[in-house]
């Protein structure tokens, strides 16, 4: 989790299915103004990029509340065991 969307790391793997990127970040009128939930990767990397854009009001406790169920569902969808 980071305040900023990790676009550089995501860009490195945007077209491959060998790495899944997940970003929990502030979104909206905030630098770098990237990380839209609809951007899911492309080519072989389609659906291997997950973004969780957060409102400014979301605090650390809310992040924790969101993180576990979202990551658990993502891991199940990849057929991995937590």
Mind listing the pLDDT tens digit for each residue in 63-78? 678 888 988 888 888 7
Among 38, 27, 21, which residue's Cα sits nearest to residue 5?
27
Residue with tokens 């970040």: 25
What are 10-28's pLDDT values in tens digits? Answer: 888 889 998 888 888 887 7
Tell me the C-alpha distance between 42 and 59, whole Å: 31
Would you list the domain boundaries of the chain?
Answer: 7-77
What is this structure's pTM?
A: 0.74
């Amino acid at each position: 989790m980071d305040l900023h969307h990790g676009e550089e790391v995501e860009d490195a793997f945007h077209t491959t299915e060998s790495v899944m990127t997940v970003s929990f970040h502030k979104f909206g009128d905030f630098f770098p103004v990237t990380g839209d939930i609809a951007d899911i990767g492309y080519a072989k990397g389609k659906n291997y990029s997950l973004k969780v854009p957060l409102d400014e009001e979301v605090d650390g406790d809310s992040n924790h509340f969101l993180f576990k169920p979202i990551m658990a569902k993502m891991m199940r969808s990849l057929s991995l065991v937590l």
